Structure 1
């Protein structure tokens, strides 16, 4: 019996070849005889930004939890990142990290981050996925709609983006929608007569700007990265991050309509309002390598597919098509890893009732990162979103915890382990940690 004959699925199609789609393809490759990834872009051979990933020029990184998951999915990929020049850094020891205007006390959090550009990490993942014998990545091709029969997926209708090739039907018994914020999942389901998910929305109106600079000796601040987080008294944030090729990416962000400028003088003035002086120092002294890029994210949203009472069998949604997280917290790649791990584990139990099992599991997986991001956003009075009055007391404690982290490295390490999704939020309320926090009250 051949290996393909032992696989229960015949053909899976993934719509979208970004990180979430590629990870989903890797997750299903052990279960399906063939996997095809479709992407609208002409995918580059080299690690360069592309049109279909407009956030690709902005600061990215891989959290400690995301890195562990990537290494499990693709053994050796973290060594490849380092070989390509991406710095590996502990988020406490190797950063100047400012929380609520306070610089965290230096210590070790055991939170290895990989400071890498989006084109590099996506390119490495695409190369790994493309090397799988049963996976084909097809670029310059768009999915036009879903094909169904008797309440289940039978394939997708697709066509080449350029040229005059006719539409074609691609048979599949599993379709995974990884089309990101441009996903037509809700429209397609409604057109087919299926229920569509409710959505939780937190409106922050985030605008952010990134520019790259040649790394100078000792920058930024003698560390791998400087991070200055937003807080209610100063809703501006920024970062200066070492990346591969000897460059530093400077990132500035505002919320609720406060837009960072893109000109030299304006960016420097904006950075000078942050708690971290190291960011303005880079802007004022380093040599720019490109023009500033601006991006908007009006709101974070989470679609509750798990609450639907009827599913289109064989159709799943991953990545930003299901949950669009505030980019300021750097959770996107890690969330995609968690979804891929979930999908791989569920497929080990077979294809039966995959959609309800997957969406129920995804809701549990996404609950923690969503609570981290939404909880941070809802600290700002002007942000629109549902608030739980019972969380007010917890919020007051967490404010004190952030302040304590300026003098107690163990508290800072606990906070960053939660931010890196290594530990649950409940770890911040551990009695021993709480006692350290309340000593400063």
Structure 2
């Protein structure tokens, strides 16, 4: 199947990174996006929001979670740098804040993670800025067109008289012909309906919803507002299904988000938001919010369910069709996996194209794309099922889940090897097999027999006091370190 002209439906991160891969081969690529103003003009630096946040790029209407904090996992950062060399530097030049995960104040289920030792690098930035920098790079590729204001209505086979392929039918324009169609339209993808209309059939779909919700607000504070602490992460855990984050971003701002499941979802109003932060199991985020200056409204996001569409199980997968990103497998955003999975899928596409396309290559690639989503899916749904009272799918998963909890307990008691193993799995740079290191097994047995060391102390969290090294445990005796 010729891939001389490719049409990508959706101009989010999955669509942009796919366009970067295909465009780099010299093929013609058209990216269709329903949002207005997403064409080449904006990608050359126009169309930014001059009225808010220091001229920062505007969140796209197609990304409702775009106003919430985003964590670009280490694997995602390195994968995007591989796809678009120099992107990390451009992101930092645009205001992104480099930080080390070892400098985060991270409160997990069993206590604080070890603090102050080098671990994995991140660049903290708003989702609109990350997309803007990537979009600008992709738009510069010859043969790539970003076409905004285009709503796709359906998909049909092209007439044999014009060489076959696909016709992408649009609400507000003529159909677009393509040899290769890539669905990158996100979790709202209508491809299952289109395939049913083409008598190909819809994929089996699995959904897991723990009922999480976000409320986010932007604050103004210097990047060293927390001194040696680069940011705060408080995970929602069973028994305490509310948490939040505070991360520095471009323009001297911080993104603060509260997150909770079910009846513990945070509210939209400022008084309720502040009250929610004070009810968390540690005062760190409430203290930060009181010490910084809020700007703008509180934004909420509720669509956080996990959805996996098993296209690889369809008996007859059509030539010239791929599905990537959230259209294939969407995750609860609380785990920050979506962009990283899209970037790793783009790398798999690049490998396949470099090897040369042969008949049936789309079906083989779809299987690889699904495998790339398997580990993050297991992580996200495994954690979410704990909040719903459900359990893992198999006894082996349950056993591994208990062992992961044991490794987390070791980390909360100062075992740096345990923490680094967890970091590597969470950031998708290592295999879960790393949690089975003999040294960790020995440490767990020793802990059961002799007891674990003292828990990791609370990091030095004193908002607004970069020169001081006093802990908030001293300021808040009612909040001792978690057990």
TM-score (norm 2): 0.84
Cα distance in 1 for partners of 2:392, 2:435 equals 23
1:227-264 Cα deviation digits (max 9, x unpaired): 01111121112101111111111111111342202223
Judge conservation of contact 1:202–1:385 (CA < 8 Å) in 2. no
Which residue of 10, 13, 19 maps to 1:25? 19
Could you tell me which residue of structure 2 aligns to residue 157 of structure 1? 169
Q: Using the TM superposition, give the Cα deviation of residue 351 of structure 1 relative to its aligned residue in structure 2, in angstroms.
A: 4.7
Could you tell me which residue of structure 2 aligns to residue 163 of structure 1? none
Distance 1:9 1:32, change over 3 A: farther
Judge conservation of contact 2:6–2:179 (CA < 8 Å) in 1. yes
Which residue of 172, 191, 206 maps to 1:185? 191
Judge conservation of contact 1:205–1:298 (CA < 8 Å) in 2. yes
What is the root-mean-square deviation of aligned Cα atoms in Å? 2.0
Q: Using the TM superposition, give the Cα deviation of residue 224 of structure 1 relative to its aligned residue in structure 2, in angstroms.
A: 1.8
Q: Is 1:140 the equivalent of 2:149?
A: yes
Which residue of 427, 430, 447 maps to 1:420? 427
Distance 1:192 1:217, change over 3 A: closer
Cα distance in 1 for partners of 2:304, 2:132 equals 28
Cα distance in 1 for partners of 2:428, 2:109 equals 20
Could you tell me which residue of structure 1 aligns to residue 248 of structure 2? 242
Q: Is 1:292 the equivalent of 2:298?
A: yes
Judge conservation of contact 2:270–2:298 (CA < 8 Å) in 1. no
Cα distance in 2 for partners of 1:438, 1:64 equals 31
**Unaligned residue ranges in structure 1 (runs of 5+):** 1-6, 161-166
Could you tell me which residue of structure 1 aligns to residue 93 of structure 2? 83
Which residue of 5, 21, 27 maps to 1:11? 5
Q: Using the TM superposition, give the Cα deviation of residue 179 of structure 1 relative to its aligned residue in structure 2, in angstroms.
A: 0.8
Cα distance in 2 for partners of 1:81, 1:438 equals 45
Cα distance in 2 for partners of 1:219, 1:383 equals 38
Judge conservation of contact 1:220–1:278 (CA < 8 Å) in 2. no
1:128-148 Cα deviation digits (max 9, x unpaired): 000001111111112221130
Q: Using the TM superposition, give the Cα deviation of residue 159 of structure 1 relative to its aligned residue in structure 2, in angstroms.
A: 4.3
Distance 1:140 1:351, change over 3 A: farther
Cα distance in 1 for partners of 2:397, 2:88 equals 38
Judge conservation of contact 1:21–1:37 (CA < 8 Å) in 2. yes
Deviates more, 1:418-427 or 1:107-116: 107-116
Q: Secondary structure at the match of 1:291?
A: strand
Could you tell me which residue of structure 2 aligns to residue 104 of structure 1? 113
Q: Is 1:95 the equivalent of 2:104?
A: yes
Judge conservation of contact 1:11–1:32 (CA < 8 Å) in 2. no
Which residue of 121, 132, 138 maps to 2:130? 121
Could you tell me which residue of structure 2 aligns to residue 338 of structure 1? 344
Ranges of 4+ aligned residues in structure 1 off by more than 4 Å: 149-152, 383-386
Which residue of 223, 226, 229 maps to 2:229? 223
Q: Secondary structure at the match of 2:371?
A: helix
1:365-398 Cα deviation digits (max 9, x unpaired): 1111111112222222x25575323333322222
Cα distance in 1 for partners of 2:323, 2:391 equals 24
Q: Is 1:437 the equivalent of 2:444?
A: yes
Q: Is 1:302 the equivalent of 2:308?
A: yes
Q: Using the TM superposition, give the Cα deviation of residue 270 of structure 1 relative to its aligned residue in structure 2, in angstroms.
A: 1.6
Judge conservation of contact 1:268–1:280 (CA < 8 Å) in 2. yes
Cα distance in 1 for partners of 2:270, 2:133 equals 33
Cα distance in 1 for partners of 2:224, 2:292 equals 11
Distance 1:288 1:360, change over 3 A: same
Cα distance in 2 for partners of 1:86, 1:216 equals 13
Judge conservation of contact 2:207–2:307 (CA < 8 Å) in 1. yes
Distance 1:217 1:326, change over 3 A: closer
Distance 1:91 1:283, change over 3 A: same
- Count residues with an aligned counterpart: 427
Decide which structure has the larger Cα Rg and report it.
2
Cα distance in 1 for partners of 2:322, 2:277 equals 42
Cα distance in 1 for partners of 2:316, 2:416 equals 49
Q: Using the TM superposition, give the Cα deviation of residue 289 of structure 1 relative to its aligned residue in structure 2, in angstroms.
A: 1.2
Cα distance in 1 for partners of 2:195, 2:182 equals 13
Q: Using the TM superposition, give the Cα deviation of residue 364 of structure 1 relative to its aligned residue in structure 2, in angstroms.
A: 1.2
**Unaligned residue ranges in structure 2 (runs of 5+):** 49-56, 449-483
